[in-house]
Structures are given as structure tokens and as C-alpha cells.
Amino acid sequence: METEARALEGTRPVDDPAVEEKISFDKQAIPTHYDLPPAFFASFLGPWMAYSCAYFVDEDGSLERAEEDKLLLTAKKLRLKEDDCILDVGCGWGSFIFFAAEKYGCRAVGTTLSEEQARLVNTLAAERGLSDRIRADVLHVYEMDYPDASFDKIVTIGAIEHMEDLGRVFARCSALLRDDGLFLVHGMTQPWRSREETLAGIRTESDDLLEEHFGVGHWHSLWEVIEALEKNDFEVLDHENITNHYKLTVERWLERLIDGEEKIVGEITPEEKYREFIAFFASYIFSFEMNNTLCNQILCRKIKRGELRPNLPLTREHMILHSKEA
Amino acid sequence: MEGLTASYIFDHLAPKFIEDNPGFPCRVNAVVSIDILGEGGGSWTFDLTDNPRVYRGLADDAKCTLTVSASDFYALLAGGSLSDCLEAFKQKRINFRGHLPTALRLERLLVSLAKDPAIAEHSRI
Ligand SMILES: C[S@@+](CC[C@H](N)C(=O)[O-])C[C@H]1O[C@@H](n2cnc3c(N)ncnc32)[C@H](O)[C@@H]1O
């Protein structure tokens, strides 16, 4: 893959000792969560192993359907095409890159901080004969050193919650994306009132929850995400609030964990870890219910001032889940 | 447990909180039961649906039923912290049947009860 020319042309992304320190911290903290055995996550996630908000067309929808619909919706928003080269920042077990490669024929690179996840993605890619299309790299977002403008589309799903300096994250993404390329940011935010407290040094339940469970948690407010995007040459094309979808998603994960208790505890994970996840999912749901946590999909385009604006879809029709348009 | 009884909490304090905070039942909008085991225990149900009330006994239609020992119950109540309750769950000191997130909606009641002088006093015993 072209992107294997990493670091040859890329700008040096990190130049600050404080940032280096944060990178080492994240590298040690984040995998404590994601390096748990994939079989444990598989026991409650859907078949694509997406560990992020699914998309429900009705309240009673199945996780399987909603998981695939989220991937389809994301692909539609990004207007994926066969010759697209995609970067997925924080790719997890590869749900989106596999979807993009298998359903659209794209080439895709995913990054993660978890060795376990990268190993699984690369092994599955080999097993499915997709090694020439899909690759996962263990790489901190601040250190992404692929050649500039090497991607047609970039996506990040459920990962900005782990990233402290969104300005730095989006600056990297902006450099790696070709001009006019699309960038989809899918992630949780907290309402400004809660965020204000965090910034004033007052810990909120959301902060504690994220940090305790994931090792690292940074919940920004929506306007901060958008500010960081705009400051890095992205224009926002569309924003969709998907908070209720995430509540339904976590409800499904919780149901599966509870239904599968007998098999999961002992065979797959110790009871202590099992209970930790039950408690975490319950408080996650509560946090959505109480408007302490929100979830968004923000679609952007990389723009250059002074360049002729292309024709863009005039309506949202193409990004309606089951619309006929591609 | 001197000076503090489950009856004082469920027959007096909790109904008063519900009466004083008419918006609370709407936020919960469910039936939640709690089974407190051992000396000083008992079973109670919060019906926070159309006609909000607290009554003795467990409800068959509870969205969630919590089980906890009396000593843990009083300690957690005095702490008034949802995080501590979740921690207790992780340590198997609280169990549940049904839909756990619904029980978390009782947080405001927990925080308010912890401020009651008798409960706060109990925590110092
Ligand atoms: C909640 S998972 C979401 C995974 C995937 N996008 C999905 O939808 O299933 C978050 C992912 O972000 C990755 N991640 C967290 N912090 C990161 C960082 N600083 N740099 C790169 N990846 C990071 C984790 O390793 C994990 O793969």
C-alpha cells in the first residue's frame, strides 16, 4: 500500500516534551482496556465488533441491524467510492475498515493504541485475503506520520473521547487528508455546563466514569470540537445528534452481557471484570438519560480559502440511511 | 443502627422527598424495589409512575429489584454517592434483577437522604 511509505514525506508530528509524555501515558493507559481478550468484547458486541454507537431505525431494532446500519450511514455520509483510500483513526477491531473494504472495495488503514486490536485486524485481513487493502497500525494519533495528503477520506469513530488536544488531532488529520477530502468525526461530547465544571477543576461523574473505565477520558463540548475543526481548515457540512442511538446501543450490550453471564464469567473473564462492565454500561445509559453525555456525527470537508467551491449535494438525501442515492 | 430504622427512611423520609419534589417521579418513571437483608432490613417498593408512592414489599412488576445487606445499605445511604453504590455492586455487595440503569435514576433521592441529620449521624457511629 502507498501508505507504507510512512515517515518518508510526513511532517514530524510531535515536537514537544509535554506531548511526548502524554503519548507515553496514553500508550500505557488505553491498552489496559482494549487489550482485554477479544472474546470478551465479542460476547456483547455485534458481529462487526463495533465498539461505538450503532444506528437504530426503531427502538426495538436489533444490535446486528443497527451496527451494520451505522456503518452504512457512515459510508454514505463519506460518499465512499471504490478507489478511495481511507484512514480510520482509532479503528478498534476494524469494523469500519472491513466494511469499507468488503462492501465498497476501498483501501483502508486503521490506527489503534492496542496491540491486540491491531493483531486481530491484520490477522483477519490476511484470513479474508484483504491484506493488500487493509492494515492496522499501532500508532498514537499525535504521531501519525503518513505522507501528507495520502487519504481521500478520514473517519474517527468513538475515539476522540480519548484524545486531549483536538487541535493537534485535527491538524494531523488535515495534513493527511487530500484537499476537498471528507472527514467524519463520530464521538461523544458533554454539554457545555458539565464541560465548564471540568475545565474549572470540578470533577463530574462523566469524567470519573470515563477515566476509571478506559484509563483516559477527555469529553469535550460540541462547540470545542467544531472550533478545533474550523481552526484546522475543515468546514462542517452536517451534524447529527445520535445520543439516543447510543443509549439504545449500550442497552443492547448490557442485555447481552446479562444474558450471557453464565458463559462469560469464568470461561471468558473473571467476575470482577464482568461486573465492572455491567456497572459501567448501567451508568453510561444513565448518563445519556440525564443529558450528561451526548453523541454526534460531524461531517466535514477540508477547504482552502480562495479555491473554487465544488458542487456539493444540495440536500441530505444521500445521507439518509435507506435512501436510494449512493 | 440505633436511632435509625428502615421504617424511618422508607415510611417517612422517602415519601416526604417525593412529595416535596414532584418532578422526581417523572424523572424515574418506573417501579423499583429494594430488598434489604438481615437485622434492620425489610422490603420496599418505590412506585414512581402515575400515583407515586412507597410501600412495603417487593413488586412483581419492578423494572429493577436491588438486594443489599442492611449494614451495606445504611453505609451506602450515609455516603450518598452513586459511584460508591456501583463500587459496591462490583464487589458483589449489591445485586440486582431487571434493568440496573433504572435504579440509578434514584440518585437524587440517595443524595437527599444522605443529608438527613439522622442518616448523617448514623454514618459517624
Ligand atoms: C471505543 S474504541 C472505537 C473503535 C472503533 N472506531 C469502533 O467504532 O469500533 C476507541 C479506539 O480508539 C483508539 N485510541 C484511543 N486513543 C487513541 C490515541 N491516542 N491514538 C490512536 N488511537 C487511539 C483505541 O485504541 C480504540 O481502538
User: What domains are there in chain B, each with its CATH number?
Assistant: 6-118 (3.30.1050.10)
Any domain includes A60 = yes
Q: What percent of chain A clears pLDDT 70, i.e. is strictly above it? A: 93
pLDDT digits (tens, 9 = 90+) for A245-267: 999 999 999 999 999 999 999 88
Q: Is A92 in the pocket of ligand 1 (CB under 6 A)?
A: yes
Instruction: Verify whether the Cβ–Cβ distance B101 to A282 is below 8 Å.
Output: yes
Residue A8: per-residue pLDDT:
37
CA distance A220 to A241: 15
List b or e across A43-57, with b for residues whose CB sees 16 or more CB atoms inside 10 angstroms: bbbbebbbbbbbbbe
pLDDT band at A161 (very low <50, low <70, confident <90, very high): very high
Of B4, B11, B13, the closest CA to residue B119 belongs to B4
pLDDT band at A206 (very low <50, low <70, confident <90, very high): low
CA distance A276 to chain B (A): 6
Any domain includes A294 = yes
Instruction: Verify whether the Cβ–Cβ distance B104 to A275 is below 8 Å.
Output: no
Q: Whose CA is nearest to atom 16 of ligand 1?
A: A162
By C-alpha distance, the chain A residue nearest B95 is A275
Q: Is A292 in the pocket of ligand 1 (CB under 6 A)?
A: no
Contact present, A156 and A91 (Cβ < 8 Å): no
Tell whether the torsion through CA atoms of A231, A236, A241 and A247 is positive or negative: negative
Q: Give distance in angstroms: CA of B37 to centre of ligand 1.
A: 43
| pLDDT (mean) for A125-131 | 97
Any domain includes A316 = no
CA distance A27 to A223: 27
Please state, as a whole number, how many other Cβ atoms lie within 10 Å of the Cβ of residue A18: 7
Residue A284: which domain range? 17-303
Length, in residues, of chain B? 125
CA distance A261 to A276: 13
| pLDDT (mean) for B29-48 | 95
Which residues of B lie inside 8 Å of A (Cβ-Cβ)?
Answer: 82-83, 86-87, 89-90, 92, 100-101, 104-105, 107
Strand partners for A67: none
pTM above threshold 0.80: yes
DSSP label at B8?
I
Instruction: Verify whether the Cβ–Cβ distance A275 to B92 is below 8 Å.
Output: yes
Q: Give distance in angstroms: CA of A160 to centre of ligand 1.
A: 8
CATH number at residue A161: 3.40.50.150
What are the grid coordinates assigned to B89, written together? 455492586
Residue A201: per-residue pLDDT:
87
pLDDT band at B123 (very low <50, low <70, confident <90, very high): low
CA distance B46 to B56: 9
| pLDDT (mean) for A221-234 | 98
| pLDDT > 80? residue A196 | yes
Residue A29: per-residue pLDDT:
84
Q: In the A/B pair of chains, how many CB contacts fall below 8 A? A: 36
pLDDT band at A77 (very low <50, low <70, confident <90, very high): very high
Any domain includes A89 = yes
CA distance A250 to A253: 5
| pLDDT (mean) for A32-56 | 93
Number of domains in chain A: 1
| pLDDT > 50? residue A303 | yes
pLDDT digits (tens, 9 = 90+) for B63-121: 999 999 999 999 999 899 898 999 999 999 999 999 999 999 999 999 999 988 888 77
State which ligand 1 atom lies nearest to the alpha carbon of A216.
16
Q: Give distance in angstroms: CA of B22 to centre of ligand 1.
A: 42
- For the CA atoms of A161, A46, B98, B77, the dihedral, rounded to the nearest 10 degrees, stands at -20
CA distance B83 to B7: 25
H or E stretch at B98: strand B94-98
By C-alpha distance, the chain A residue nearest B108 is A290
The mean pLDDT value of chain B amounts to 91
